[in-house]
Structure 1
């Protein structure tokens, strides 16, 4: 009959047909393949052969690892996601959790053909847990990430240990071991691809240009006034790299006022730094970089007052612990001039002062260059670099060994006939003074870094003159040096105790280095730093 198949059988979709027997065989084949896949899945406990790992469940939350593709294909980066489901009333935390909480910690140890991961954090919300202001998520979170594939086209084996914190009326730490494997083959979208893309779209995009935040008030009353023209901002989350914490913002005309609840170097230590702010409002979010400046009303007293503060701050730096070993070197120069003529004493101390001021000019030039390049700079930032710390450790050990008489290094001569020793002493004083924060120094440096090259040069010159004032005082009254007794047994004892001061400062630098790299790496750096002194003593 027209329109019917020539043989009775089964009519399939899309116009294909086969006999009942053939359909049965194909059905049996599909069943066998499904059974084989199920057996393979059972053969690898806890590992998913699909694009999602099994859920790791606790009474407070569940978490799993998902992929946006069913296979690797020729991709050099995979889109994965860490999916959380939180029980009612329970919350987990953002990358900067606020005054309490911990962000999720990810460990990919044991993974194969998988490189570093870049996370895309969706915009968070603010909440209060146990009376503490915190930042994070509730109900559900999918944390998208791009993960490098070192060998595209080869299978991927993902092993992820995730440690995270869940809080309600109490806080419960959680740990989960997640695993999934993606085979080689076409990278077809998975069932989770849409969810990963949707949550990735919730990550705040960067603003087209950097913004500005002004510091107002002092001490506990300090706050950042963030200008957000044309934006209906409801909340703002500011990240300062562990240098400060911020409270709940309050609306002000044209933006938000954010209280500084804690600052490592005081609120003035934020001046000139670049912070990252996530701004939310109206269901939308953006990421804004903020350069911190002194508010106009706070800076209205003018450059003259700032220069006076810089001069006073530089003078006070002479009393800070960082400069203690340099004070020792100064005293050795002072003692070495005992009984010498006034002219020689004046020349020696003027050379030290010149070394200090010259070093501050170098710092001013570096600050101008960094500001022009759009980099965030601050007072003592070099002490955050392990290589610099290791170099300073070596230098201090060399100075201590020299004072103890292990070896002698003749002082060079340069700079138009000035003795190199005192000039280098001044440069060394500046180098060790930079990690110290004395009164007025933070305000002066912060003000300088938010102004132009001329203001930067003037303020750094004032700081240098302040640090050099004791030497300039002795240069003005050289009889102080000439009145000391000639070098003798008392200077030997003085050298010993000053060497101890230098060694103590080296020990302090070692603890700073250990806090950054761990004691094993710090011990290796100590051995390397001591090697030059040992070679010179041999």
Structure 2
């Protein structure tokens, strides 16, 4: 019946169009292409105007329409076809004076068949198309290759080749404008008469099987409300159950969801909700959130204690990860400077460092909660994707290095000296800063057990995030807390002496190397020239600080002024430049690695291939260690080079929503991350953060179905 009502309405509109055509058939044909005729359908391109207005200005659009006239029972698809099909697409190659063309999608119909839910159009439909011109006010020549799929009991793909020329001239409305306007008013979000609003959209039920509950209101009683849900890949949405109340003005819509993989979580993902009622529609974006985390969607107390234990252990192991080695140099100097001091001073300094770690983890938890509330991607170490953070950390590392090498002793500015002098009697603030720095430099790494706990936290609510991040902080701070409990451990070290000067210089060189590494990561984001300029400014800062005593004899404020200007310039220069590109760096044509293509994995596995995925980043030192010690070794490299193995690499050096979503589908929010797919493991085998040759080889054989060895737990302890 909706089709019959739509047919009558379109028949009436057609009469108006025919009346217009009879008045001026020549001009009417000039505003429409010839029909592309198939047995089941006719397709043509329409224009709402007979000309391109000569007085058009930049930003103006030409209104077109792509008309389909289908035989009864046949359909084409909406922009999001549902469980099957694909929508019409237009290739404008060969057109002249065309900058871009964008299809708008009127309210579709739902088709339910054998448990499959699809969305599209039957009988007659016009898809409005807004076209931007390269040169406003000049003639437009359109060549459109339209690929579309029509279905009844069978589906047939077609291509229609259409052409339409519009001369420049005074603005002149074509008879086809009535038809285009009729369907434009059915595009959700257009047409003042729609009278629809979305009052709420929340998840209920469990994390494993959530139910989307939507409440919509109408200014006039609903007749046949429906809800179309567009979400991330891997999730399905059933036909909704609708209950009307308040005299038909309020629709309570419930949609059961499903997921392709067991580890996928809908909570926190971006959804597009389209509420329809006949020809009326309202479209609105929403982030999938639970109204409250019910007990059924939560976790048993004993299981939560287990997650907290993993978080504690993961934070402790993080002290030993390669990316935390620069922090160990600061720890070593701090411990060495405690030799021979009173126990109360040792205890206070180490407690201050532990407090800095815990404070920093609470800040990270707060940032994660805020980002999730805003519907943004959340990940472990994502601050290393931001040029401002990298330039600030490079500046801090350079100042630490110059202080340790004796270039300056007077703090410039004051808090920098306090941070670098973390072991002095007046250095409680400095020890606090050392703990905070330990946390910041630890975040590019993912350690065993860390992925499990962070993945769980970021898929839950604020309470779990704060609780688990606190446990991670306690784990990272355990060495400090151990010395605070037993300060006699520090007294075993020799008392400070001349050997400290040599040690300070060595550690200063290590921190300078860290600054160089940070600049190399920065180069991947803002370009090599900008990174070299920032490095030159930091080197100049070192020269100024080294020559500071000489300058101060002649010019009292010369050193502070010059150092401050160089530091500010090094900080601001990279952050003021645009990113080189977003979404990760492209894999070079010469590389043996393909760029990560999640859509191709299933096809390759179906062809009997094994797919090895490596998600990496320039700022992830553990990733580079895995590559050097495992992936680039002869045995593993030869196995990955087999014809039956495809290597895919996702580069997360720059922000990428696609990679963030891919990691989240495995409950991972940090890297390194490696997974192996194959005929015997179509859902993938996740590998530990620290790779071993045996684990990689075993996973490949298991995925291929040629071996029975286990790859080992995904987080070194269970993921």
Please give the range of the TM-score, normalised by the shorter of the 2 chains. Answer: 0.5 to 0.7
1:329-362 superposed Cα distances (whole Å, 9 cap, x missing partner): 3477569759966987995796477356426526
Deviation at 1:470, TM superposition (A): 1.1
Q: CA deviation at 1:170?
A: 3.3
In the superposition, relative to structure 1, how do residues 358 and 324 fare at CA in structure 2: closer, same or farther (>3 Å)?
A: closer
Match of 2:211 among 216, 219, 223: 223
Contact 1:210/1:289, CA 8 A, preserved across alignment = no
Tell me: CA distance 1:118–1:165, structure 2 relative to 1, closer, same or farther (3 Å).
Answer: same
Q: Displacement, 1:88?
A: 3.7
Task: Pick the aligned partner of 1:510 from 635, 651, 654.
Answer: 651
CA apart distance, 1:235: 1.6
5 Å matches for 1:361-380?
Answer: 361=363, 364=366, 368=370, 375-380=374-379
Match among 411, 416, 431 for residue 418 of structure 1: 431
Task: Determine if the alignment matches structure 1 residue 467 to structure 2 residue 472.
Answer: yes
With over 3 angstroms needed to count, the CA separation of the structure-2 counterparts of 1:236 and 1:348, relative to structure 1, is same
Give 1:102's aligned residue. 86
Q: So what's the TM-score if we normalise by structure 1? A: 0.63
RMSD (CA atoms): 5.3
> Paired residue for 2:34?
54
| TM-score of the two chains, using structure 2 as the length reference | 0.49
1:64-213 to 2 correspondences below 5 Å: 64-73=44-53, 74-75=55-56, 76-128=60-112, 132-205=116-189, 211-213=199-201
State the match for 1:29 in structure 2: none
Structure 2 residue corresponding to 1:354, chosen from 332, 353, 356: 356
Instruction: Note if contact 1:52-1:66 (Cα within 8 Å) is conserved in structure 2.
Output: yes
Does 2:272 correspond to 1:276? Answer: yes
1:325 is displaced (CA, Å) by 10
Q: 1:369 to 1:471 in 2, by over 3 A?
A: closer
Shift of 1:81: 0.9
Q: Is the 8 A contact 1:213 1:225 kept in 2?
A: yes
Unaligned runs of 5+ in 1: 1-33, 39-47, 403-407, 449-457, 519-538
- Supply the distance in 2 between the matched residues of 1:480 and 1:173 (Cα, whole angstroms): 76
Pick closer, same or farther for the CA change 1:499–1:197 going to 2, 3 Å: closer
- 413-422 vs 333-342, greater mean Cα deviation: 333-342
What does residue 63 of structure 1 align with? 43
Counterpart position of 1:329:
323
Change (3 A) 1:320 1:123: farther
SS in 2 for 1:228: strand
CA contact 1:161–1:175 (8 Å) conserved in 2? yes
Relative to structure 1, the CA distance from residue 516 to residue 174 in structure 2 (aligned partners, 3 Å threshold; closer, same or farther) is: farther
1:213–1:223 distance in 2 versus 1, CA, 3 Å: same
**1:249 and 2:258 are equivalent in the alignment:** no
Q: Deviations over 1:297-346 (max 9, x none)?
A: 827999xx99999997676468889x989833347756975996698799
| Residues in 2 aligned to 1:197 and 1:171: alpha-carbon distance in whole angstroms | 30
Secondary structure at 2:125 match in 1 = strand
Structure 1 counterpart SS, 2:84:
coil
Deviation at 1:226, TM superposition (A): 1.0
Deviations 1:465-502 (A, max 9, x none): 12212123333323799699999xxxx9xx9xx95643
The Cα of 1:258 is off from its aligned counterpart by: 0.7
Superposed CA deviations along residues 449-474 of structure 1, whole A, max 9, x for unmatched, are: xxxxxxxxx76543431221212333
| Change beyond 3 A, Cα 1:249–1:516 | closer
1:235 equivalenced with 2:226 (yes/no): yes
SS at match of 1:468: helix
Cα displacement (A) at 1:251: 2.4
Count of matched residue pairs: 437
2:258 is matched with which residue: 258, 261, 271? 261
Offset, 1:202: 1.2
- Partner of 2:161, secondary structure, is strand
Distance 1:325 1:419 in 2: 17
